[in-house]
Amino acid sequence: MSFLESMQQRYTTKKYNATKKIESQKIQELKEILHLSPSSINSQPWKFTFVSDNDKKQKLSKVSWLNTNKVLDSDTVVVFSRINNIDVFEKQIDQELPKGAVDYYKEFIKPQSEEQIKVWFDRQVYLALGVLLSACAEMGIDATPMEGIEPKNYDKILNQTDYSTLMAVAIGYRDKEDFNQPSKNPKSRRDINKVITTV
């Protein structure tokens, strides 16, 4: 199957088969793929938490609004967090990045407000979200990106202090009765010529 065909078949899963599990090798591959995600100046201001423990999933499900059943029935919930402590981030890049990258940060990002810097962090994390969703499509794994969660409560449950939850992705395999799968609810997108131009 080509990547185009994989993307044509992927969709936002609404109902999971709770009995069907993802092979451990595929979970490991997804971890390595996320690790390779691109970010501006290779800044990597993120953390990805794979939650498969039933007790933790139960707690997360209670602070996931309309996504409760997706959290409970999916195989794993991947929590996407951005670094919340700018001092920790700056020490990290000083130690790990080349001078040119650090200089870029100091000249163009650091002079901004704390809020703007964190928005820049957020954008990097969303790049990684796209990577995960694409990887899942290619690997035949169903996925549900979820902003409809309570980030601060996720942080408490995961004992996060230097990082803040932005969103989560439930991954697993669809229930055969899921109403949202393309065979039951065909994918809908705006006309390609309205969103893509060639100059």
What are the pLDDT digits (tens) for 10-42?
A: 999 999 999 999 999 999 999 999 999 999 999
- Distance CA(57)–CA(137), nearest Å, equals 23
Range of the domain at 64: 3-195
Strands of 16-155, DSSP E = 46-51, 76-83, 142-146
pTM of the model: 0.97
Query: Which tokens belong to 123?
Result: 């954008």
Please give the radius of gyration of the chain, using alpha carbons only, rounded to the nearest integer: 18
Question: How many structural domains comprise the chain?
Answer: 1
Residue 72: CB partners within 8 Å, gap ≥ 6?
18, 57, 58, 61
- Here the CATH number for the domain that contains residue 21 is 3.40.109.10
Judged against a pLDDT cut of 90, whether residue 7 lies above it is answered with yes
